[in-house]
Structure 1
């Protein structure tokens, strides 16, 4: 039977250990229980995994607040150490940021001159689609005081003037800061445009806008395991029924977790070191670790 009892249908990162405790593989999942269970399904076309699975003696997992956060955590772990059965160090997605320029948001490399104001995000394609969606609803570039003829005509067609500039800029910044109300308003506007395109049989446009909606959801999803500006290094601890779990934040990235038996009295001094913003995350995953132990 697959060792999925106790795993939730939630996004997260999982790792397999052998009988000696060595990490065999690290992966991420949109739904942990389904993804981990799939390794004990039909693997006829995946001979590499067929060789690995019989060696798995224990499954460990961390529940994340979003698929985006899980993607970052997997990347951080694999950049620090690549287990034998993982093919590549790091991940496939490109880390990027978004800078709010005078003519609108722009996807930038994290180490480019001028740096990014928002992020980091995994996936240049996703970030560019999200920026496209923001530009569709809040066309900041059409609000400049001096526009050439073509842009001036497009601004007139869109009903946009220089008076819209402060509101557009403030709303874009609020969305990129994950403002709930502003994000909801932009998402609803995109959904209306998508539905209108579909009603007009412009299915290719409708599909494009749907991609922009999904990309917007990706970049505004909760994500704290990698930070644009590195803060002080720290550890976060969670305890559950005799098991202490430690999460390690270094240079602005959560890049490791370990667990060991511990009495509550022994764990208390470590639990007191956990920053308040990490307590729910650490406690939740200590409970999960206890179920899987």
Structure 2
């Protein structure tokens, strides 16, 4: 029988979530990784002074994994799974990052993007996102290129900055539409905003304004975090099942109230009707993770 350590070599090098099972099939641990292969292999090579984990590693009989589309998606999936059921070897129920949203205020006096801890009122919201600081940095990045906050009718310093930028209330709707396109992950809008932020960062570095360049670099990373593909937690409170099948293995994900909260896999001689019923937007995710599950299982 192939050892779990050897099976780990079959893991992809991208972001995702992994879990370990013992010989009885009980889940021991759920974790997330930027690089699944490197992270899982580290349990057999680089535990350092963590004797608690070494005891767990001795019990691992099977490795399972889900390949995600982004680090942000992996962070959400780990959180959802642990909030639903925490294995013995996990210390906390889900991640520690703050959950946040971005609210678009279209008021004529003070338009702009705001951080919100929850969805309230009729305003347009985007998210959910993990990491309060990252969300605020991303808002700063968008406002830096799209100064929506100065396109209102408010007086005082806001009006002075508006005159400096050469914008006014007539620009409010145009700036808001572009901000919505960015937060909706429109490729052209995101690419244009990133290019301008990169130009300003590089210009600041060339002028030896390194602290400002570093700030822009952090804002770029935060922007990438919130516009990355992320389906496992949604504003849409839908309930649905997502299933994929490959080489005799059926993988099933349950989405409840917009969150992917359970993940199971089992042998299946042929793809059941649930696979065909999986929404088109989820089919690539389901298919590739069924293929991954089969590869890890047959690697044994």
SS at match of 1:76: helix
SS at match of 2:64: strand
SS at match of 1:229: coil
Q: Kindly indicate whether the alpha-carbon contact (under 8 Å) linking 1:61 and 1:289 is maintained by their aligned counterparts in 2.
A: yes
Could you tell me which residue of structure 2 aligns to residue 143 of structure 1?
151
Alpha-carbon displacement from aligned partner over 1:185-233 (angstroms, at most 9, x marks no partner): 11111111111111221111111111100000000000111111202x2
CA distance in 1, matches of 2:100, 2:48: 37
In the superposition, relative to structure 1, how do residues 116 and 124 fare at CA in structure 2: closer, same or farther (>3 Å)? farther
Q: Kindly indicate whether the alpha-carbon contact (under 8 Å) linking 1:110 and 1:116 is maintained by their aligned counterparts in 2.
A: no
After superposition, residues 86-101 of structure 1 pair within 5 angstroms as 86-101=90-105
CA distance in 1, matches of 2:170, 2:256: 44
Could you tell me which residue of structure 1 aligns to residue 188 of structure 2?
181
CA distance in 1, matches of 2:45, 2:122: 49
Contiguous gaps of at least 5 residues in structure 2: none
Q: Normalising by structure 2, what TM-score?
A: 0.92
Q: Kindly indicate whether the alpha-carbon contact (under 8 Å) linking 1:13 and 1:29 is maintained by their aligned counterparts in 2.
A: yes
Q: Kindly indicate whether the alpha-carbon contact (under 8 Å) linking 1:108 and 1:116 is maintained by their aligned counterparts in 2.
A: no
Q: Kindly indicate whether the alpha-carbon contact (under 8 Å) linking 1:3 and 1:37 is maintained by their aligned counterparts in 2.
A: no
SS at match of 2:10: coil
CA distance in 2, matches of 1:147, 1:196: 32
With 131-140 and 43-52 compared, the bigger mean Cα shift is at: 43-52
Could you tell me which residue of structure 2 aligns to residue 259 of structure 1?
265
**Structure 1 residue 214 and structure 2 residue 241: aligned?**
no
CA distance in 1, matches of 2:123, 2:257: 17
CA distance in 2, matches of 1:11, 1:28: 8
Alpha-carbon displacement from aligned partner over 1:97-116 (angstroms, at most 9, x marks no partner): 11001321111012555676
Q: Normalising by structure 1, what TM-score?
A: 0.94
How much does 1:35 deviate?
0.8
CA distance in 1, matches of 2:216, 2:292: 38
Q: Kindly indicate whether the alpha-carbon contact (under 8 Å) linking 2:9 and 2:41 is maintained by their aligned counterparts in 1.
A: no
**Structure 1 residue 196 and structure 2 residue 203: aligned?**
yes
Could you tell me which residue of structure 1 aligns to residue 15 of structure 2?
11
Alpha-carbon displacement from aligned partner over 1:142-194 (angstroms, at most 9, x marks no partner): 1113422x222222222323332222110001111111111111111111111
Could you tell me which residue of structure 1 aligns to residue 36 of structure 2?
32
Could you tell me which residue of structure 2 aligns to residue 152 of structure 1?
159
**Structure 1 residue 80 and structure 2 residue 84: aligned?**
yes
SS at match of 2:138: helix
How much does 1:78 deviate?
0.3
Alpha-carbon displacement from aligned partner over 1:26-51 (angstroms, at most 9, x marks no partner): 00111110111111113232222111
Contiguous gaps of at least 5 residues in structure 1: none
With 159-168 and 91-100 compared, the bigger mean Cα shift is at: 159-168
Q: Kindly indicate whether the alpha-carbon contact (under 8 Å) linking 2:105 and 2:123 is maintained by their aligned counterparts in 1.
A: no
**Structure 1 residue 132 and structure 2 residue 140: aligned?**
yes
| Structure 2 residue corresponding to 1:237, chosen from 243, 248, 254 | 243
CA distance in 1, matches of 2:37, 2:99: 27
CA distance in 1, matches of 2:56, 2:124: 41
CA distance in 2, matches of 1:27, 1:112: 32
User: Aligned pair count?
Assistant: 289
| Structure 2 residue corresponding to 1:225, chosen from 232, 251, 255 | 232
Root-mean-square deviation (CA), in Å? 1.5
With 85-94 and 39-48 compared, the bigger mean Cα shift is at: 39-48
SS at match of 2:229: coil
With 26-35 and 193-202 compared, the bigger mean Cα shift is at: 193-202
Could you tell me which residue of structure 2 aligns to residue 276 of structure 1?
280
Q: Kindly indicate whether the alpha-carbon contact (under 8 Å) linking 2:104 and 2:123 is maintained by their aligned counterparts in 1.
A: no
